Structure 1
Amino acid sequence: MSYVCNRVVVSIACIETHARQCEACNMATPYVPQRHSRLALAIAGTLGASAVFGQVEVPWLVMEEVTVTAQKREQSATDIPISMTVMGSDDLNEKRIQDFADLSVNTSALDIARGNSTNNPVIAIRGIGSTDPWINNNPSVSAFIDGVYLPFGSYLGMPLFDLERVEVLKGPQAGLYGRNSIAGAINFVSVEPGDAIGGHVDLSYGRYGETTLQGAIDTPIGDSLKLRFAGFSAQGGGYIQREGTVDSTAGFSRAPGVIPAIPSISAKSDYGDKDVVAGRASALWQASDRLTVDLRVHYANDGSEIVNSTNLNGDPLGVFQPEQGAIHVDYDDLAGVMDARNRGASLELNWEGDVFTFTSLTGVESLSRDYSVGDFVPLRLAQPTYDEDVSSFSQEFRISSEGDSLYWLAGLNATRDSIDYHRSLSSWDYLLGELISAYDQDDESWSVFGQVEWQLSPSLLLSGGLRYTDEEKRYEGGSWENDPFGTSIVAAVYPEVAGGLFGESDYDDQDVSGQLKLSWTASDATLVYGSVSRGFKSGGFDGSGIVEEIGFLPYNAEELLAYELGVKSRLLDDTLDVSAALYYYDYSDKQVLAILDLGNGITEAVTQNAAVSEVMGLDLDIKYLINEHWSAGLSATVLDSEITEWNSDDPAEAQARIGNELPGTPGTSLTGDITWEGNAGDFDLRASMWATYTDSTYRDIENTPALQAESYTLLNARVSLGDPARGWSVYLYGKNLADEEYRSSVRTLVGMQGAYFGAPRMYGVGVNWQF
């Protein structure tokens, strides 16, 4: 049994996670399950409110209606003809999704690989994604925080905290989301300020000293202004064995007496500690009955120890050999520490008119960071040190209107981005010198877009979106040799660098993209849809270090033509949700990070348009409410990808790559979960278990067997016990409970091969307080 507030005149903000329309009096007041009835009475008594309580049956678990803003307005996820994965705040907190890597292992069809350690994540959805980890590369998946576009992968190293939900939209979304949403889009929606004073604090401690503290507080001012302050901190958790140089290369130099020798460095366990602090302030002002102003400001500082990949095959000099089968080992002589500062703000104005709604969204974002990654061997072969500054500005205006049978939206978007990049590539033990590269890049883009939905009949809806994009990029910079010891052969290996190689180049492009969709409401509980979409990913410039004049030439945009059939249905008296999507992609001009052999053991990674590919796949999502105590879910993706053409003047190179799979494209990926919730005496008890399976995956475009990630399964669990009437709960968590060894991504450098391995078994305890 449970109790429902009937004609209560107090807002019970503390139980927002269970709030819905009052069943007893059909008013928009929260309902209170039995485990929360003491809290409701306490609040009502404290505020002097009187209440009448009636008894009704309320289950512990219910099949929730998920609201999303995937189409720039609030809608039920089941009513939108888009294949998507949506995770609410409860899921995000329970599964400890605190960064992009956590998001990947909990979402089928989403693959996130490391770029420059954790600094520039490389993202793919359904096999569509770039392999370029450089800072100026635009990801193939467009990411948005509270509607503001994040144009570079470098912004995606931010911690994820105090989020209302994450929406992963699969397939091209160019009509509403614009350039670089060729694979899909990810919306991060932060929690809005609440109506009453309250908040939460969560503290956890786990294996390897991993400590996480996060929380938020709502502090409304009057009836029209609401404020929210949220914070996050992650410390410790390093699980890497750093070998040092004492027993390997200490004292080594290719030019003894001229170039200083490698110092003696002791081994260190539990390396790779996090040191992340972040905060967000939000203000929501109801300026009038028609005008709402939403301001959000955020800041993050990352001083974590940088983890290198584990060397797999030694070094080209034959000086060092790694232990066979070793994982979670850092052999580098260089201990890198991140020094990154991320700042951003957004201002959204919404004006509700009688006929139309007007929205203005302004966003600014900046990132400054200095760090060294190392070359994953205890030698100084190619150790990069970076000094990077990135800034972005975006402005979007939208106007929309909804009638009985017609909805339309029109918009204008403009962005300006700039990058200031400097890299010192130290090669004292290989090229006996240093290669310095620096450039400035400025990007400008504007677009006009629109979407129309026309209700052809009570059951048929035709929708279409179109966007015209104009973008320009300007690159100016180059590379030069640094030879402080008079020993460098950098210019001998890269002759065009001798005396300095400098240049400038422009890139401009125009594109028309969009989609056409037909939706059929087969019944009140079933939606069937078909769509044809076209998306594109921007072209650009080499973002590492140009060593040949030809490197100043830009690469061109990618294009994707996608066909999709899907169905979404709620069955068995609203206890079973099923959605499925079948799709075919024609993927052309793919930008690939190809490894070119320059001779004498020297290689160069160059981004080029080299591939035409086909992708076919199936997505399946099932959510089943077994009864009021048990629920289960399953998400699955089956993919088949193939390179059908390769653009090269070398027939042997083309032949070697035609038929290869696209990197980051597992044949099968699965996520499943099961949850139980009920009483344990006077307390609430919730237990959940979830697992992820990922098929074997090639990590490079060449499909190198040594760099293939084998299939793996991750098992995770969480148990919590609490007293919601007093606002507290304690919990135990475990991730990768079977201690599975698996590769999350790979790295190649001057003929060396390395792999980043996923975290080992992690577990801990936490306490949560709602107030």
Structure 2
Amino acid sequence: MQGKAANMLRNGIAALAIASACWGAAGGADAQPRSARTEAASFDIPAQPLGAALNQFAIQSGKDVLFSPDVTRAKTSRAVRGVYSPEDALAALLPDDTLVFRKSDDDTFLIEAAATSGTDAAWRGEDRIVVTAQRREQQITDVGISMAVFQAGEIEEKRIGDLYDIADATPSLDVVLGNGSNNPTITLRGVGTTNPWLNNNPSVAIYADDLYLPSSVLLTFPVFDLERIEVLKGPQIGLYGRNSTAGAANFISARPTDEFEGYADVSYGNYDAVDARAAISGPLNDQLRFRIAGLLQKGGGYIDRAGTEGTTAGFTRVPGVIPGVASVPAEEGFGDKDIAAIRASLSWTPGDGVEFLLIGHYGKDESEYIGSTNTNGDRLGVFAPPSDEPFVDYDDAHLFADAEQYGAVLQARVALGDRYELVSVTGYTELDRLYAIGDFVPTRIAEPTFDEKVSTFSQELRLSYNADRLYWLLGASYSMDDIDYRREMISYDFLLGTLGTAFDQDDRAYAAFGQAEFELAPKWSVSGSLRYTNERKEYAGGSFDIDPFGTSLITVAFPNLAGGGIFLEPTYDDEDLSGNATVNWKPVDDTLVYASVGRGFKSGGFDGSGITDESSLTPFGPEKLWAYETGVKTALSGGAFSLAASFFYYDYTDKQVLALVDLGAGFNEAIIQNAASSRIFGGDVQADWRPVDTLRFSVSATFLDSKVTKWVSADPAETAARIGNELPGTPEASVTGAVAHSLPLGAAWTLNTTVWATYADSVFRDIENSPNLKSDSYALLNGRLELTQTEGGLSVYLFAKNVLDEEYVTAVRSLVGMEGNFYGAPRTFGAGLRYAF
């Protein structure tokens, strides 16, 4: 099978190269944007104050450029080097979408502030997406990485509000609920973990404004007032560090602006869902700019709680000693959101080429957490689900949450002459939360309450150099991650007591890294990155029997807890050297063919579940991934049509998986071990077509094939049962598509219509490939209809998600023989009002 994958890669490279040449012969080199281009010229303009850069552009292009000093004040240009038409060079030079240019005749360009109406015909660079995937601003067609990019308009249109919404819009990105919705587990292209514990790092490195978030519990922050989201596929170890085996995701918040602007957006939907958000931004003086954005979400609960009245209320296995199950009335509309968040940013530019950006955030979440719907009754045989309705919670427990998350990031950028730039990123984030999630049955089998604190501090420095044919970056980073964890697992009706677990974990990591890109010839370049990481994790914790009624069987089930419990203080030390290399070929303008090879790793550590055996605290080692990829990106007709396609093969070893350990007496425990090796191959394709300015089509798809190739076990039967299995969270096909249309209604209004759909193939949720823990395939249809003022800032809109009311399972849960499903939301719809100025 590996030979088949290698042949697939070789054939893919050849096919992509031939296709690129054909596109070039068909007119790629001569493709014109919707505004006519003029003859190409050679440009060499470094990043610098925008006014000076425009003067250099005028000299090198031989064109006249008109602009007001107020328009360019406190702005820094992007570097432009190479052969471009004047229009393309100027579009690449302008630093952001707040500026546009008009062409009054063949030799004169006028630079001005962008209009807010969205109907300005000036060249805005909208068709040339700029990303920072490689820690510098580049056009997406210049970056040899497969990625999904969501800009502010699309985030708003599709109501992308959290990590789960991003997964719905990104083929091959699979996000599964863990501990309710508190600890999401992430898989990208089949690489990821099924372990939801807060001390296990996700395989997709998540960054919020350049601050690394080391734990999945920090990924539940609300998404609002963003400039862009970038999801990078494949190992990103060189620039993004450890735990980016599957890829990386950047959340980039909207920046303070040079002009006063803002918006207010309020919507109301079924299930009494209220969503209100607003932002205001502008200058305080010539050097200071600010932005404040806020979010409030209420309601939206669509779960029915069955309660215990008439079923298990009063049940106890030890009458007169252990109180009976509480009498809980039935309740409709459970699962309401109760979230408030605010973000404040301050930008200071004390001089040319110097900027400091301080971003602070605070959020509070007191939402009702949604549990899974039980499908097979409880462990005692006392309860059986009375129906197969999808949105029913049978818990007797009081489900509550009280979470706060806050922090700040300070970014400093200093231009050292025309070629060098120094960047410093200092950040801190902390999450404090207390919550209970229940065990999805109306008896007290295993009802956990969690008290957690997670904090992270990091400091990163980067020095970069950008010359005619050479770009390099050198960096160093230090991070401190601290976790305090307490859990009480009530088991009054099963083990007749309570299992307590507590631990503290400190993680310290140092890294040195670098990247370089060199132009071998006008159409050829090579790039590579390398990172050295040194990491140490210190763990102190264990489990103990809490016996409130003198009846506990905890020590019978877990003999190692007899005599006061188990407490250990292990440490984990590791160092790694990883990186990647890429060859880039640009046969014509706006077309890139690339081939890359890279190695990534995900840190080892400790199991963070119930610690009932010393083997639970034996550190598991890192998992490793060798990735081979080839791809093409092209933009034709001035960006009116774009296509990206890639083929990849992964050699995935020492995968961290939950494997059962026999504890005796008929009990076992799932503990993380390096038990599996596997291979994954597949392909991505993205296409975007805008035949006219008012109509746009887009489609994105990923196809995957995964297989376990090795399993480490003392049980030959277990090994035989695992070999050949699919990896969890790896659908064979996942597709998203969208159509957007704008219809002018006279001179005053425009009607914008967006329809998008998502399809995901069936997928196993465990590495055992248990048929009862499998999510079936599903398709979702969504839409938005918006009436917008042409010259004003008022918009009125209608929205709907899951229009066809598809019943689908997003995740499954298994607990001491009990099984349950997490269902995706039913049809939701509503209306909103937005005003921007």
The answer as to 2:215 corresponding to 1:135 is no
Give the partner amino acid of 2:528: G
* Contact in 1 for aligned 2:127/2:638 (Cα 8 Å): no
Give the 5 Å matches for 1:293-692.
293-354=356-417, 355-499=419-563, 500-572=565-637, 574-596=639-661, 598=663, 602-681=667-746, 682-692=748-758
Give the 5 Å matches for 1:142-291.
142-291=205-354
Counterpart for residue 110 of structure 2: 27
Counterpart for residue 59 of structure 2: none
Per-residue deviation, residues 649-705 of structure 1 (Å, max 9, x unmatched) = 100011111111000000000000001012123311100100000000001111110
Counterpart for residue 44 of structure 1: none
Q: TM-score, normalised by structure 1?
A: 0.94
Of the three residues 736, 740, 752, the one matched with 2:818 is 752
1:563 and 1:82 mapped to 2: Cα distance? 12
Per-residue deviation, residues 535-574 of structure 1 (Å, max 9, x unmatched) = 0000000101210112121100000000000000113453
Per-residue deviation, residues 436-472 of structure 1 (Å, max 9, x unmatched) = 0001100000000000101000011100100000000
Q: TM-score, normalised by structure 2?
A: 0.87
Q: Secondary structure at the match of 1:91?
A: helix
* Contact in 2 for aligned 1:602/1:750 (Cα 8 Å): no
* Contact in 2 for aligned 1:305/1:335 (Cα 8 Å): no
Of the three residues 713, 731, 740, the one matched with 2:797 is 731
> Displacement of 1:626 after TM fit?
2.0
* Contact in 1 for aligned 2:127/2:640 (Cα 8 Å): no
* Contact in 1 for aligned 2:117/2:790 (Cα 8 Å): no
Per-residue deviation, residues 21-57 of structure 1 (Å, max 9, x unmatched) = 23335233135598768xxxxxxxxxxxxxxxxxxx6
Q: Secondary structure at the match of 2:154?
A: helix
The answer as to 2:779 corresponding to 1:709 is no
The answer as to 2:147 corresponding to 1:81 is no
2:193 and 2:182 mapped to 1: Cα distance? 15
Give the partner amino acid of 1:571: L
* Contact in 2 for aligned 1:601/1:751 (Cα 8 Å): no
Counterpart for residue 742 of structure 1: 808
> Displacement of 1:595 after TM fit?
4.2
2:118 and 2:318 mapped to 1: Cα distance? 73
Of stretches 593-602 and 61-70 in structure 1, the one that deviates more from structure 2 is 593-602
- For the structure 1 residues 11 and 404, does the alpha-carbon distance in structure 2 shift closer, same or farther, using more than 3 Å as the test? closer
* Contact in 2 for aligned 1:389/1:420 (Cα 8 Å): yes
The answer as to 2:187 corresponding to 1:124 is yes
Q: Secondary structure at the match of 2:166?
A: helix
Q: Secondary structure at the match of 1:29?
A: strand
- For the structure 1 residues 219 and 7, does the alpha-carbon distance in structure 2 shift closer, same or farther, using more than 3 Å as the test? closer
For structure 1, list consecutive stretches of 5 or more residues without a partner in the other structure. Answer: 38-56
How many residue pairs are counted as aligned between the two chains? 747
- For the structure 1 residues 583 and 35, does the alpha-carbon distance in structure 2 shift closer, same or farther, using more than 3 Å as the test? closer
> Displacement of 1:161 after TM fit?
0.4
Q: Secondary structure at the match of 1:263?
A: coil
Of stretches 308-317 and 528-537 in structure 1, the one that deviates more from structure 2 is 308-317
Give the partner amino acid of 1:210: A
Of the three residues 781, 784, 806, the one matched with 1:718 is 784
- For the structure 1 residues 442 and 237, does the alpha-carbon distance in structure 2 shift closer, same or farther, using more than 3 Å as the test? same
Q: Secondary structure at the match of 1:420?
A: strand
Per-residue deviation, residues 108-140 of structure 1 (Å, max 9, x unmatched) = 111100111111110111000011100101000
Q: Secondary structure at the match of 2:101?
A: coil
2:445 and 2:321 mapped to 1: Cα distance? 17
1:451 and 1:70 mapped to 2: Cα distance? 12
> Displacement of 1:384 after TM fit?
0.6
The answer as to 2:138 corresponding to 1:72 is no
> Displacement of 1:11 after TM fit?
6.0
1:733 and 1:239 mapped to 2: Cα distance? 17
1:605 and 1:267 mapped to 2: Cα distance? 34
* Contact in 1 for aligned 2:798/2:830 (Cα 8 Å): yes
Q: Secondary structure at the match of 2:283?
A: coil
1:32 and 1:539 mapped to 2: Cα distance? 51
2:643 and 2:119 mapped to 1: Cα distance? 31
Q: Secondary structure at the match of 1:539?
A: coil
Per-residue deviation, residues 91-118 of structure 1 (Å, max 9, x unmatched) = 0010000111111101111110011111
2:103 and 2:777 mapped to 1: Cα distance? 48
1:572 and 1:233 mapped to 2: Cα distance? 42
1:389 and 1:484 mapped to 2: Cα distance? 26
2:790 and 2:413 mapped to 1: Cα distance? 36
2:116 and 2:578 mapped to 1: Cα distance? 49
2:69 and 2:463 mapped to 1: Cα distance? 37
1:603 and 1:752 mapped to 2: Cα distance? 15
* Contact in 2 for aligned 1:441/1:475 (Cα 8 Å): yes
Give the partner amino acid of 1:22: R
- For the structure 1 residues 62 and 288, does the alpha-carbon distance in structure 2 shift closer, same or farther, using more than 3 Å as the test? closer
> Displacement of 1:290 after TM fit?
2.9
Give the partner amino acid of 1:378: P
Give the partner amino acid of 1:244: G
1:235 and 1:657 mapped to 2: Cα distance? 45
Q: Secondary structure at the match of 1:706?
A: helix
* Contact in 1 for aligned 2:67/2:111 (Cα 8 Å): no
For structure 2, list consecutive stretches of 5 or more residues without a partner in the other structure. Answer: 1-33, 36-64, 74-95
How big is the alpha-carbon RMSD for the aligned residues of Structure 1 and Structure 2?
2.0
2:486 and 2:638 mapped to 1: Cα distance? 60
Of stretches 110-119 and 564-573 in structure 1, the one that deviates more from structure 2 is 564-573
2:117 and 2:605 mapped to 1: Cα distance? 59
Identity level (%): 48
Give the partner amino acid of 1:168: V
